[in-house]
């Protein structure tokens, strides 16, 4: 069981690193662009702008145009059906984790596995999509459906340890992701440096699970919960131009989305700055509050007073129980002896 869980842990980290870099359809050449660009990838395409203002993205090796598509990545527009689904998802998962995650046990481990699957499935689709994008609603349903499957796996005992480990990883990554998004163009000028920092925090979260499980649980629940809640609030305030765009800028390395992402870069709106900062500040506060308020172990233990109906007692056990019984109860028991 331990080996399989560790394998799942390594696979999850490897998948996120891989999707952040070498993705389907990425050529392999790196000529410089004028000026500093935070978009670091295995090649830098040539941008050809015509006199009428149309820009074409060219492969620097073949000089062939690279078809470009929208980079909505399932986020929808304004308050479309896709946006509403993501909004509801963020609050439905984020708020319980942020405030009572340590108390929810099976729901919390289910959320850990479900969210890990959602991130991997969504990142895989947006990085391998062609110029003819998968419809936003379809991508949204697939991603949320992946959460449902993962949630069901994490709810059962077989997925408990995996859920705790994945939640620890996600907690560290969610915390560092917000720090990375606080700076225009991302925190570190070299793109892969941001993912190294995010991965490092994910590994720290995994290590906490091993050496201080309860601390890991309360911190991870608070971190993931405030991240999702903050994203939900940001979707209301900034729609697709706030944290939603920042996450697409961080995750989306698709050559067919190059023009849409690079031209606009990442400049957080003022409300996004506030939401990111507040959610980061609330993480340790809510983690400590959960630790103090919900002091019982994460895995509930059965009470000694909860006796199944079909339980049979030995004579000595019956004698012990009748020692504290009322006289009327003792008389009833004596009658049936």
Residue 331 falls inside a structural domain = no
Provide the token pair at 250: 């961080």
Residue 314 falls inside a structural domain = no
At residue 279, the 3 state secondary structure works out as helix
Residue 327 falls inside a structural domain = no
Residue 15 falls inside a structural domain = yes
Give the model's pLDDT for residue 315: 46
Provide the phi-psi class of 63: left if phi over 0, else alpha when psi is between -120 and 50, else beta. Answer: left
How many structural domains are present in the chain?
Answer: 1
Give the model's pLDDT for residue 67: 80
Size of the chain in residues: 337
**Positions of the chain with pLDDT lower than 50, given as ranges:** 1-42, 301-322, 329, 332-333, 335-337
Residue 106 falls inside a structural domain = yes
Residue 82 falls inside a structural domain = yes
Give the model's pLDDT for residue 152: 93
Provide the phi-psi class of 46: left if phi over 0, else alpha when psi is between -120 and 50, else beta. Answer: beta
Give the model's pLDDT for residue 20: 42
Give the model's pLDDT for residue 197: 95
Provide the phi-psi class of 94: left if phi over 0, else alpha when psi is between -120 and 50, else beta. Answer: alpha
Residue 171 falls inside a structural domain = yes
Q: Which domain holds residue 159?
A: 2-293
Residue 298 falls inside a structural domain = no
């Amino acid at each position: 069981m331990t080996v399989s869980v560790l394998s799942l842990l390594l696979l999850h980290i490897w998948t996120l690193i891989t999707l952040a870099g070498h993705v389907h359809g990425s050529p392999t050449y790196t000529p410089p662009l004028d000026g500093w660009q935070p978009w670091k990838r295995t090649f830098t395409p040539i941008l050809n702008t015509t006199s009428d203002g149309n820009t074409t993205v060219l492969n620097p090796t073949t000089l062939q145009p690279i078809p470009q598509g929208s980079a909505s990545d399932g986020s929808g527009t304004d308050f479309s059906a896709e946006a509403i689904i993501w909004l509801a998802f963020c609050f439905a998962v984020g708020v319980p984790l942020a405030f009572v995650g340590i108390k929810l046990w099976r729901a919390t481990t289910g959320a850990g596995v479900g969210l890990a699957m959602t991130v991997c499935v969504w990142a895989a689709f947006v990085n391998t999509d062609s110029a003819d994008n998968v419809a936003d609603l379809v991508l949204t349903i697939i991603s949320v459906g992946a959460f449902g499957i993962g949630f069901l796996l994490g709810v059962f005992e077989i997925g408990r340890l995996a859920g705790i480990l994945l939640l620890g990883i996600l907690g560290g990554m969610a915390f560092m992701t917000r720090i990375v998004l606080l700076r225009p163009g991302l925190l570190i000028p070299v793109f892969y440096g941001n993912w190294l920092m995010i991965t490092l925090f994910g590994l720290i979260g995994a290590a906490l699970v091993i050496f201080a499980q309860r601390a890991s649980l309360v911190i991870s629940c608070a971190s993931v919960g405030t991240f999702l809640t903050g994203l939900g609030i940001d979707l209301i305030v900034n729609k697709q131009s706030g944290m939603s765009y920042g996450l697409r800028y961080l995750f989306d390395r698709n050559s067919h989305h190059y023009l849409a992402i690079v031209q606009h870069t990442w400049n957080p709106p003022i409300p996004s700055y506030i939401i990111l900062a507040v959610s980061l500040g609330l993480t340790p506060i809510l983690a400590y509050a959960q630790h103090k308020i919900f002091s019982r172990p994460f895995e509930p233990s059965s009470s000694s007073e909860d006796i199944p109906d079909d339980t049979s007692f030995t004579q000595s056990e019956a004698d012990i129980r009748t020692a504290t019984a009322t006289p009327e109860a003792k008389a009833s028991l004596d009658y049936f002896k």
